Every structure is written in structure tokens, then in C-alpha cells.
Amino acid sequence: MRNAIVVFTKVPKAGETKTRLTSDRGGILTPEEAMAFYEGCLLDVINVCTDANCGDVRICYNHDGDREYLEKLLSRVSNRAQIKEIYADQGGNFDQCMQYAADYILKNGAQDRLADNVVIVGGDLPSLQPAIITDAVGKLEQLAASENGRKVAKQIETVPRELGAALVEGSCQEGGFSVVGFTCTTPFDFNRVFYNTDGITALDMLVTKAVQQDIPFGIVEAASDVDIPVDLASMIPVIKALDLAARCDKNIKIPVNTLAILDKIGLESTAVPHR
């Protein structure tokens, strides 16, 4: 099975990136600090994906993002040559952009598809580890080969019958998910996953779609994203723990870029004593 790992991101830009972390939106960072923080996260996520070494790594960025700036940023990743391609989405809401990121790869199973399955990860997951990516790919392959996976798969002439349907996710806080993967034969789309009028969380909608279509479903270790100040406060001790644990576990990937930015800004996580 050909695997694609897609990092789904905005091109970092001051005043438009991680704005809910800025003082203008109730946070503590300047727009420039928020941008630098996201750059650190994005570099670490890309390094994790290339280190996982279980599929072609591609970057999907916002259609109005600065491609030239993104290229300069990517010159700082561990191995730029391991990034197979960079492509822009076509705009729209988050559902539509995510759908395009997947469709560009899977092409509904057409002969010219770039992979048989896709695993999409966000760029703001500083605790993400290579083991999570390899686990997602492994579970996709296992579930897609199952009897039920083959039974519920979309029948596509250009796809081998043994390539069944499968859906895998990695949760994050507040009913969301930070990792999602599926095969080209999976009867799934992102319509109303992030944008719906019923108040259903993204993860609940993902599960609902899997249940409705009887799609074999897998879950991998959670990796929290960072959108608001409480996320940032919760993340800091986690990545510091990863830094320490890596001394005894060579499989841990240290988020060196995120740690460096936090050190430069001078951020620490604190707990208010109970009274």
C-alpha cells in the first residue's frame, strides 16, 4: 500500500497565525511571537513525519499563503529532500480545505492517484511523535485488509479489491482530532465535520460517519494542538517531559524548535496554589 503523510498548515504570518494566543485576543504573546511559536511547531511536526519514514511527506498550505516564505522556512527542516511535494489548497471553509488536501492525493482511487491512503496531521502538534504516525499507517493497512474493510469499500476499477475501507484518528482536546487517515476506497468525506449547525464536535462527527457507513475504525495516541492560552500552558510541561525522556529513549523525537522558541520568549507553565 502506498502511503502519503500530509502536513496541513497555514503559512505562518504575523497577525494571522495563532491569533488566539496574542494579547489582542486575550492571550499573552505578540503577533510576532505567536508566528514564531507556530513556525517552531510546524518544523517539529514536519521532522516527525519525515522521521516516521512510512510514506511520502507532502505539505498542503492555504491557497493565499506566501509560498516563497514557506520555502524559506522549510530550508530549516532536518531533511528538505524528504518532502515530496508542496501544494496549495483551493480555499473555502476548513472542511473544504481538508477535503481538497485528501482529494489531491487520493483522486477518488483514479489510476493517477499519488497514494492508496492518506494520513493528515496539523502543523500545531509539538508533542507529536513518529510512533503515532507509524501506528496510524499500520492500523490503516490492517483495517483495510479486514473482511469488513473490503466489504464496505467503494468499488473502483483502478483499485485492487483487497484494498478495503478504513478510518483512523488521533484525538485532541475539546472533542477534536489532530490526526486523521483513510484509504481511497473509504466512503468518507469531510462535509460538516468541522462546520455544522448542530453543535456536534469534529470527533463526534467523524465517529458518526464511520458508524453510518460501517467503516472499520482505529484510534492512535492523542496529540494535543495549541490554539488558546490554556493549550499553550498545558503543552509546555509535556514537551519538557519529552525532552528529558529522550535521554533514555532514542525513539522519542524532541521538539527542539518549539523548545527553542519557548526559551527565547521566556515562557514557563505555572499552577496556581489551592487556597
pLDDT tens digits for range 194-241: 988 788 999 999 999 999 999 999 999 999 999 999 999 999 999 999
Residue 19 has pLDDT above 80, yes or no: yes
Which residue would you say has higher pLDDT here, 212 or 268?
Answer: 212
pLDDT in tens, 40-91: 999 999 999 999 999 999 999 999 999 999 999 999 999 999 999 999 999 9
CA distance 50 to 4: 11
pLDDT digits (tens, 9 = 90+) for 85-114: 999 999 999 999 999 999 999 999 999 999
Residues 183, 159: Cα–Cα separation, whole Å: 11
Q: Which residues contact 146 (CB under 8 A, 6 or more apart)?
A: 164, 166, 216
The domain spans of the chain are: 3-265
pTM of the model: 0.95
User: How high is the pLDDT of residue 13?
Assistant: 97
Domain 3-265: CATH superfamily is Spore Coat Polysaccharide Biosynthesis Protein SpsA; Chain A (3.90.550.10)
The span from the CA of 133 to the CA of 61, in Å, is: 20
pLDDT value of residue 39 = 98
Question: pLDDT digits over 146-156, tens only?
Answer: 999 999 999 99
